[in-house]
Structure 1
Amino acid sequence: MKTTERTTLKRSGLGVLGVLAATTLAMAPVAHAVTPETATLSFDCGSYGSGTATLKATQDGTAATIEVSTDAITAPIPIGANSVRSTLTLDKNGTGTTTFTGSSNPAIPAGGAVSTGPLDGTVAAGDSLEAKSLTVVVFGITAECTATSPQNPGPFVF
């Protein structure tokens, strides 16, 4: 083989690899993003207290999760990991509601703010969700919380 033939084969081989790489990238799943990723709001939990909450949202296709941390409810005694059952109800597109649920939480020390999640839910492209209420069940005791402020900086848009 002549040097020019080898160079041509090398170049065409690199060209084929480049086309394959570009095709693979084009076929890769599109990453979806939720904005904002973090929002804050206030909750009133009746006799359990009131305070602020931080919500952190993530999305993977139509699956979404929201983690909640709020000082509106504090643990009177230590709470073990994965023993808080929670439901977060959100206004959906201003015309209905959707819920995110889960039974996952870190261990919470006595006096510590309640953290729960990830809470799982389903979304569609363009959904706009804003927290409306939070129900937390610990040791069979239910705390009902109502949002008393809008999310800041605004609703989650998926």
Structure 2
Amino acid sequence: MKHGTFGIGTFLGVGLLAAGTLAMAPAAQAVTPDKATLSFDCGSFGSGTANLAATQDGTAATISLATDAITSPLPISANSVKSTLTLAKNGTDTTTFTGNANPAIPAGGAVSTGPLDGTVAVGDSLEATSLTVVVFGITATCTATSPQNPGPFVF
């Protein structure tokens, strides 16, 4: 009987030790850096700086973007800007993040869009190359004119 008690106690002790070790293990790394800036040229719509903010949850990632490269001549209601952000992926491919989420934008206000949704894999290195924004059926296409600072997003 004592042998059985010792076995259960040992099993519980090992289980508690394993649980404690897992609790003390470092959390999985998220995207780094989580914020970046770059410049866009949007042709006749203007040019300027864009601020990007990235988040990651497993293979799902989002990027929110605000840029003074495009300003709205009219008020824009929330969730009415359709955006596609194209990013260079690992230096050999491209990927897109898309969405139509945006805050309400007043007349003369800078365009903010996101979160834009995309899919990533561990180790993906992504750097914005272009942005397409559709508002009121009008399409503005922007091209990155500088690299992301401080560097590409690494997931």
Q: Normalising by structure 1, what TM-score?
A: 0.84
Match of 1:140 among 137, 140, 149: 137
In 2, distance between residues paired with 1:139 and 1:31? 41
Match of 1:91 among 85, 88, 97: 88
Q: Deviations over 1:76-125 (max 9, x none)?
A: 11111100000000000100100000010011111111000000001111
| Kept after mapping to 2: 8 A contact 1:32/1:60 | no
In 2, distance between residues paired with 1:31 and 1:142? 39
Q: How does 1:1-158 map to 2 (within 5 A)?
A: 18-19=16-17, 21-22=19-20, 25=23, 30-158=27-155
| Kept after mapping to 2: 8 A contact 1:133/1:144 | yes
Shift of 1:139: 1.1
Aligned CA RMSD, in angstroms, stands at 2.3
| Kept after mapping to 2: 8 A contact 1:31/1:60 | no
Unaligned residue ranges in structure 1 (runs of 5+): 1-11
In 1, distance between residues paired with 2:28 and 2:102? 26
In 1, distance between residues paired with 2:86 and 2:139? 15
Task: Identify if the C-alpha distance between structure 1 residues 76 and 32 changes in structure 2 by more than 3 Å, giving closer, same or farther.
Answer: same
| Kept after mapping to 2: 8 A contact 1:32/1:61 | no
In 2, distance between residues paired with 1:16 and 1:106? 51
Q: Normalising by structure 2, what TM-score?
A: 0.85
Number of residue pairs aligned between Structure 1 and Structure 2: 145
Report the secondary structure of 1:22's partner residue. helix
Shift of 1:24: 6.4
